[in-house]
């Protein structure tokens, strides 16, 4: 595969710079997302109580459960006396890990199968599209429940269940784009030069299909976070002590009247992060949609 | 059908071809309906001969091209390229298709926007065993032949105009030194001034290399410059064929008469 | 003589990504007389469609205008101000290039006529009579009204589209490349139809085309456009047989004519990209008759009632 990384990087950087200049929405979104990313990367080093963050309940002498936010515990402590700040901070890396893994893996599967469906027409296309339909109809949570039963809770459950539903979405988007690309003469003519099919798919089809699908994936980051948090909140994904925003929100649910901060703080983080990703995705989509590339596009 | 003596030396011979499309209405019902587009087409072209196939929309000229290029298997009849049935095996098809230089209709759709001109030009040589230097030399020669500067090789298609792209495609078709030049409406998406340049270019190339030309077009006036013989297609059938002057001066079919009249320079 | 469309120093441009103006039509003076078929001929990117859509009143909102455009005495463009109130759809109408995609697929032809005729205060009965009368002149039966667009052939749709723009009661019809999606043997019919429409309804037709032969056959007067300017304007026969501007001459020489196998001249180079602005003649680089002076000097001359934008037109060569 000969996708030149430097040229791809340059185009990404220049696109980001152009959109940055034009859209307020993009600026706000990018600032939020960069802040969260920075937190996620730095969290293992700056967490004040790492063991509590990872779910260990502190010893009885130091256990101050249900403490409201203070200087010692910035976000207070939860019902079992763990420092909420540490848990939420570590939760940011969990969130990003889930997003990147889910979107990345589904993107690879979806792009491959979608492009194959469009290139090899006939039965292959028909059956792959059927498969896509089936997986589009399945809710992630329905897959998560049996997976958790079989393999026990953990990251693998949430990633596997969400990838199984999200790849179909990218598969469909990719096959729609690929179908119009495969109509083009630049896919037919190499066939006449006797080039093998896989070379044509990689060089011509994949290269033209992936940019729009990747943009689509970026706009989905927020939705992936929301869905993953929902599954975790319901307790079908990660174990109950894991530092994840959805899980923490669930922990605080029974104490919502007495200690509202336990649920509200991770909830707030979920909201802000999802909003940041949607703002970026929205601005990118508007910018790349040729119909909206007019003077009238809103500055915001 | 114009008979030429010496049966075997045809470059292309299309024999009684009936072709069309199968449409599968649904997966569950296995009934397929066949809509014929070409009916009993006969066509032959000898080395160095120039033939134009004239047809308007719905005449089946695109289907004819697909059949000759080996992309659509006819339900009846066969296609011979230098005596080789191209639908007999994949090997035969690969050998035959290397003798064809195909210039497509729309230059904007025919070059991958994300691939440099150089890579596009190298593609036809990839399956042959050429060394890197030889490939570079061949590419540069081809580009020079169609009157483009060498810098073009490093460009992406988006920075070239329609006329230049069409030249690139001609260079690409020429790079394998084909015996048959298959032109699919080579000028229909160009402006008149560039159209004339391309017509002149193809004629110069023809006079240097004397390959056979099969031109498929709807434009009689363009065909006059690029072909000696003409075949008029309508609704999948050959309705008239012969030497260009004969057909134009004494059209026998009503449709041909109408067609010729619409190109005449007289006020309505 | 009444002028249907008149423009004085009309320039039209589009705002691009960086909010710069890309001038597509530059300083055009044009007079279209009432009841004539006026042709705008040029290659792609010469601004003919933009000029046509300014007459029809379908300029996109991000376009910029300078100069004046007057339609039947009403000033629709005055520098930055554009007001097509009472002109668009009333005085001028637009015949789109591809009728297949411009007619609503979910409405019967009659419903589309009704939507137009309702605006003129007609009741259903009189509207139906009027629609039938219009279709009759286009040699379509009344039965067409009950059909949906996909049930009609391309040629019929083209005529329905013409009928719809006639139904608006417009006096100026702008037809943008009406023949480009039509087979050659139907082109003649269509052009004859345009002439009939002009004779029966007394409308003025502005025809936009890249086909110089069509212009010669069907139009009364031709304006040849190059790089956003009208380089030559005059009655069609004399412009095409005795061109004054070098560009017109090359354009005529470059078109293949059936039954007359001349050597095709080739204009070197490519047409300039839209938006080029500079002193002197825009055709300088490609002109075989160019002179040092052309670089910064170009003037409009009137010869035999034809206007030509060249300081040294090909008068001597064409008469001798």
Contact B263/C184, CB-based, under 8 Å? yes
CA dihedral of residues A150, A156, A160, A163 (deg, nearest 10): 160
Measured between beta carbons, the chain B residues lying within 8 angstroms of A208 are 112-114
Contact C15/A296, CB-based, under 8 Å? no
Binned at pLDDT 50, 70 and 90, residue C320 comes out as: very low
pLDDT, tens only, C87-103: 888 899 998 888 777 88
Question: What's the mean pLDDT in B125-129?
Answer: 84
CB atoms within 10 A of CB C28: 23
Binned at pLDDT 50, 70 and 90, residue C216 comes out as: confident
Nearest to C250 by CA among C283, C295, C205: C283
Contact C61/A293, CB-based, under 8 Å? no
Asked which of A62-71, A74-83, B15-24 is least confident by mean pLDDT, the reply is A62-71
User: In Å, how far are A108, A115, A132, A173, C156 from A206, measured between CA atoms?
Assistant: 11, 7, 19, 13, 42
pLDDT, tens only, C154-202: 888 888 998 999 998 899 999 988 887 777 778 888 888 888 899 988 8
Which of B104, B110, B127 is closest, CB to CB, to A193?
B127
Chains touching C (at least 3 CB pairs under 8 A) are A, B
Q: How far apart are CA B135 and CA B122, in angstroms?
A: 7
Report the SS3 class of residue B44: strand
Chosen for mutation from B192, B194, B195 (greatest number of chain C CBs closer than 10 Å) is B192
A1 touching B, CB under 8 A? no
pLDDT, tens only, A226-265: 999 999 999 998 988 899 999 999 988 888 888 888 899 9
Surface-to-core class of residue A131, CB atoms within 10 Å of its CB (0-12 exposed, 13-18 middle, 19+ buried): middle
Contact A296/C61, CB-based, under 8 Å? yes
Establish how many alpha carbons lie within 13 A of residue B96's alpha carbon, considering only the half-sphere containing its beta carbon.
Answer: 24
- Extract the tokens encoding A181: 């690309």
Q: Greatest CA span in chain C, whole angstroms?
A: 68
Residue matched to tokens 């008239």: B240
Question: Under a CB-based contact definition with an 8 Å cutoff, are residues B35 and B21 in contact?
Answer: yes
Question: Under a CB-based contact definition with an 8 Å cutoff, are residues C227 and C271 in contact?
Answer: yes
Q: What pLDDT, on the 0 to 100 scale, is given for residue A1? A: 35
Helix or strand run (H / E) with residue B52: strand B50-54
Contact B110/A184, CB-based, under 8 Å? yes
Binned at pLDDT 50, 70 and 90, residue A60 comes out as: low
CB atoms within 10 A of CB A72: 12
Q: Higher confidence at residue A102 or residue A26?
A: A102
Complex confidence, ipTM: 0.82
Establish how many alpha carbons lie within 13 A of residue C217's alpha carbon, considering only the half-sphere containing its beta carbon.
Answer: 20
Q: How far apart are CA A172 and CA A182, in angstroms?
A: 15
Question: Under a CB-based contact definition with an 8 Å cutoff, are residues A257 and A263 in contact?
Answer: no
φ/ψ region of B147 (left if φ > 0, alpha if ψ in -120 to 50, else beta) reads left
User: In Å, how far are A46, B132, C212, C220, C222 from C36, measured between CA atoms?
Assistant: 82, 63, 17, 6, 11
Helix or strand run (H / E) with residue A9: helix A5-22
Nearest to A178 by CA among A128, A127, A213: A213
User: In Å, how far are A187, C178, C226, C306 from C210, measured between CA atoms?
Assistant: 31, 11, 11, 20
Q: What pLDDT, on the 0 to 100 scale, is given for residue A3? A: 42
Q: Is the pLDDT of residue B234 over 60?
A: yes
Binned at pLDDT 50, 70 and 90, residue A9 comes out as: low
Q: Residues of C at the B interface (Cβ-Cβ below 8 Å)?
A: 43-44, 183-185, 187-188, 191-192, 195, 210, 212-213, 216-218, 237, 250-251, 254-259, 261, 264-267, 270-271
pLDDT, tens only, B161-216: 888 999 999 999 999 889 999 999 888 888 888 888 899 999 999 999 889 999 99
Treating both helix axes as pointing N-terminal to C-terminal, what angle do A207-234 and A155-182 enclose, rounded to 10 degrees? 150
Chosen for mutation from A295, A296, A299 (greatest number of chain C CBs closer than 10 Å) is A295
Q: Is the pLDDT of residue A99 over 80?
A: yes
For chain C, the three-class secondary structure string (H helix, E strand, C coil) is CCEEEEEEEEEEEEECCCCCEEEEEEEEEEEEECCCEEEEECCCCCCHHHHHHHHHCCCCCCEEEEEEEEECCEEEEECCEECCCCCECCCEEEECCCHHHHCCCCCCHHHHHHHHHHCCCCCHHHHHHHHHHHHHHCCCCHHHHHCCHHHCCHHHHHHHHHHHHHHCCCCEEEEECCCCCCCHHHHHHHHHHHHHHHHHHCCEEEEEECCHHHHHHHCCEEEEEECCEEEEEEEHHHHHHCCCCHHHHHHHHHCCECCECCCCCCCCCCCCCCCCCCCCCCCHHHCCCCCHHHHCCCCEEEECCEEEECCCCCHHHHHC
Q: Is the pLDDT of residue C317 over 70?
A: no
Report the SS3 class of residue A97: helix
Tell me B41's DSSP state. E
The pair phi, psi for residue C17, each rounded to 5°, is -55, -40
Q: How far apart are CA C232 and CA C240, in angstroms?
A: 10
Contact A193/B71, CB-based, under 8 Å? no
Q: Higher confidence at residue A135 or residue A81?
A: A135
CA dihedral of residues A116, A121, A122, A128 (deg, nearest 10): 30
SS percent in chain B: helix, strand, coil, step 5? 40, 25, 35
User: In Å, how far are A205, A217, A266, B103 from B79, measured between CA atoms?
Assistant: 30, 47, 70, 20
- Closest residue, chain B, to A2 (C-alpha): B115
Question: Under a CB-based contact definition with an 8 Å cutoff, are residues C55 and C206 in contact?
Answer: yes
For A20-59, the three-class secondary structure string (H helix, E strand, C coil) is HHHCHHHHHHHHHHHHHHHHHHHHHHHCCCHHHHCCCCCC
pLDDT, tens only, B36-84: 889 999 999 988 899 999 988 888 888 999 999 998 889 999 999 988 8
- Closest residue, chain C, to A287 (C-alpha): C17
Tell me A83's DSSP state. B
Taking one residue from B and the other from C, the number of pairs with CB-CB distance under 8 angstroms is 97
Contact C15/A295, CB-based, under 8 Å? yes
- Extract the tokens encoding B132: 């890197």
User: In Å, how far are A238, C224, C234, C301 from C283, measured between CA atoms?
Assistant: 72, 13, 19, 16
Buried b (16+ CB within 10 A) or exposed e, B210-230: ebbbbbbbbbbbbbbbbbebb
Helix or strand run (H / E) with residue B217: strand B212-217
Q: Is the pLDDT of residue C255 over 90?
A: no
Contacts (Cβ under 8 Å, ≥6 apart) of C222: C38, C39, C41, C215, C216, C232, C233, C234, C235, C236, C239, C240
**Predicted TM-score (pTM) of this structure:** 0.84
Q: What pLDDT, on the 0 to 100 scale, is given for residue C318? A: 47
Q: How far apart are CA B123 and CA B223, in angstroms?
A: 29
Binned at pLDDT 50, 70 and 90, residue B24 comes out as: low
User: In Å, how far are B46, B58, B223, B257, C259 from B247, measured between CA atoms?
Assistant: 20, 21, 12, 9, 11
- Extract the tokens encoding C83: 């007001």
Among residues 105-124 of chain A, which lie with CB inside 8 Å of chain B?
A: none
Radius of gyration over alpha carbons of chain B, in Å?
19
Binned at pLDDT 50, 70 and 90, residue A41 comes out as: very high
- Extract the tokens encoding B171: 């260079």
pLDDT, tens only, C101-148: 788 889 999 999 999 899 888 899 999 999 999 999 888 888 889 999
Order of strands across the sheet with B229-234? Answer: B100-103, B180-184, B212-217, B50-54, B229-234, B237-243
For A168-187, the three-class secondary structure string (H helix, E strand, C coil) is HHHHHHHHHHHHHHHCCHHH
Q: What pLDDT, on the 0 to 100 scale, is given for residue A4? A: 46
Question: What's the mean pLDDT in A53-72?
Answer: 76
Q: Both ends of chain A: CA-CA distance in Å?
A: 39
**What is the CA A114 to chain-centroid distance, rounded?**
20
**∠B227-B229-B235 over CA atoms, to 5°?**
105
Q: How far apart are CA A104 and CA A155, in angstroms?
A: 15
Q: Is the pLDDT of residue B228 over 70?
A: yes
Q: How far apart are CA C259 and CA B265, in angstroms?
A: 10
Q: How far apart are CA C138 and CA C193, in angstroms?
A: 7
């Amino acid at each position: 595969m000969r996708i030149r990384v430097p040229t791809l990087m340059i185009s990404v950087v220049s696109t980001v710079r152009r959109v940055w200049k034009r859209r307020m929405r993009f600026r706000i979104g990018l600032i939020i997302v960069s802040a969260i990313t920075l937190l996620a990367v730095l969290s293992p080093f700056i967490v004040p109580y790492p063991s509590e963050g990872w779910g260990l309940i502190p010893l009885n002498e130091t256990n101050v459960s249900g403490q409201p936010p203070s200087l010692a515990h910035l976000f207070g402590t939860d019902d079992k006396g763990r420092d909420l700040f540490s848990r939420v901070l570590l939760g940011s890396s969990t969130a990003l890990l889930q997003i990147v893994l889910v979107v990345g893996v589904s993107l690879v599967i979806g792009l491959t199968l979608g492009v194959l469906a469009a290139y090899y027409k006939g039965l292959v296309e028909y059956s792959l599209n059927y498969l896509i339909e089936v997986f589009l109809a399945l809710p992630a949570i329905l897959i998560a429940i049996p997976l958790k039963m079989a393999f026990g809770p953990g990251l693998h459950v949430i990633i596997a269940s969400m990838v199984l539903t999200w790849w179909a979405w990218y598969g469909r988007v990719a096959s729609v784009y690929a179908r119009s690309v495969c109509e083009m003469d630049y896919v037919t003519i190499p066939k006449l030069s006797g080039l093998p099919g896989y070379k044509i798919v990689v060089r011509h089809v994949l290269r033209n299909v992936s940019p729009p699908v990747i943009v689509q994936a970026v706009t989905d980051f927020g939705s992936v976070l929301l869905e993953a948090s929902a599954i975790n909140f319901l307790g079908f994904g990660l174990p109950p002590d894991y530092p994840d925003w959805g899980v923490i929100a669930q922990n605080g649910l029974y104490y919502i009247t007495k200690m509202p901060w336990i649920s509200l703080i991770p909830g707030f983080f979920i909201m802000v992060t999802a909003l940041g990703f949607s703002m970026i995705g929205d601005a990118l989509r508007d910018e790349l949609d040729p119909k909206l590339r007019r003077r009238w596009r809103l500055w915001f | 059908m114009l008979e030429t003596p010496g049966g075997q030396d045809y470059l292309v011979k299309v024999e009684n071809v009936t072709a069309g499309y199968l449409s599968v209405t649904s997966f569950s019902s296995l009934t397929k309906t066949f809509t014929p587009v070409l009916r009993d087409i006969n066509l032959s072209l000898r080395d160095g001969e120039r033939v134009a196939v004239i047809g308007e929309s719905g005449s089946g000229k695109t289907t004819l091209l697909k059949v000759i290029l080996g992309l659509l298997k006819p339900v009846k009849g066969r296609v011979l390229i230098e005596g080789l049935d191209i639908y007999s095996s994949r090997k035969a098809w690969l050998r035959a298709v290397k003798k064809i230089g195909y210039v497509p209709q729309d230059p904007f759709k025919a070059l991958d926007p994300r691939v440099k001109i150089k890579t596009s030009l190298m593609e036809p040589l990839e399956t042959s065993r050429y060394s890197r230097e030889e490939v570079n030399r061949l590419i540069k020669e081809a580009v020079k032949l169609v009157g483009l500067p060498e810098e073009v090789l490093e460009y992406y298609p988006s920075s070239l105009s329609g006329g230049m792209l069409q030249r690139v495609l001609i260079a690409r078709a020429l790079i394998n030194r084909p015996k048959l030049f298959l032109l699919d409406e080579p000028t229909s998406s160009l402006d008149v001034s560039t159209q004339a340049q391309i017509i002149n270019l193809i004629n110069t190339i023809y006079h240097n290399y004397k390959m056979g030309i099969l031109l498929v077009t709807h434009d009689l006036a363009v065909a006059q410059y690029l072909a000696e013989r003409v075949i008029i297609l309508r609704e999948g059938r050959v309705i008239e064929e012969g030497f260009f002057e004969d057909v134009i001066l004494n059209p026998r079919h009503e449709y041909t008469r109408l067609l010729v009249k619409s190109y005449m320079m007289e006020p309505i | 003589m009444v002028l249907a469309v008149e423009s004085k120093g009309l320039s039209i441009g589009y705002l691009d990504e960086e909010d710069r103006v890309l001038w597509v039509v530059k300083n055009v003076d044009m007079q279209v007389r009432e009841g004539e078929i006026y042709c705008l001929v040029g290659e792609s990117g010469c601004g003919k469609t933009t000029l046509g859509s300014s007459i029809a009143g379908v300029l996109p909102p991000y376009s910029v205008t300078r100069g004046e455009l007057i339609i039947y005495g009403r000033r629709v463009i005055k520098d930055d101000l554009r007001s097509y109130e009472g002109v668009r759809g009333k005085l001028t109408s637009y015949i789109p290039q591809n009728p297949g995609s411009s007619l609503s697929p979910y409405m019967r032809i009659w419903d589309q006529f009704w939507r137009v005729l309702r605006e003129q205060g007609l009741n259903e009965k009189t509207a139906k009579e009027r629609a039938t009368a219009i279709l009759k002149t286009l040699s379509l039966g009344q039965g067409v009204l009950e059909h949906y667009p996909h049930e009609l052939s391309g040629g019929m749709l083209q005529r329905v589209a013409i009928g719809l723009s006639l139904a608006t009661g417009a006096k100026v019809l702008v037809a943008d490349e009406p023949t480009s999606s039509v087979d050659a043997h139907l082109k003649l019919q269509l052009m004859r139809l345009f002439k009939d429409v002009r004779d029966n309804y007394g409308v003025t037709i502005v025809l936009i085309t890249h086909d110089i032969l069509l212009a010669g056959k069907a139009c009364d007067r031709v304006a040849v456009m190059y790089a956003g300017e009208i380089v030559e304007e005059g009655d069609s026969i004399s412009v095409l047989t005795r061109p004054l501007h070098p560009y017109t001459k090359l354009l005529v020489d470059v078109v293949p004519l059936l039954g007359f196998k001349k050597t095709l001249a080739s204009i070197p180079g490519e047409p300039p990209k839209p938006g080029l602005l500079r002193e002197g003649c825009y055709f300088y680089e490609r002109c075989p008759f160019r002179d040092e002076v052309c670089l910064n000097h170009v003037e409009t001359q009137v010869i035999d009632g034809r206007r030509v934008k060249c300081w040294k037109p090909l008068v001597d060569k064409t008469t001798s």
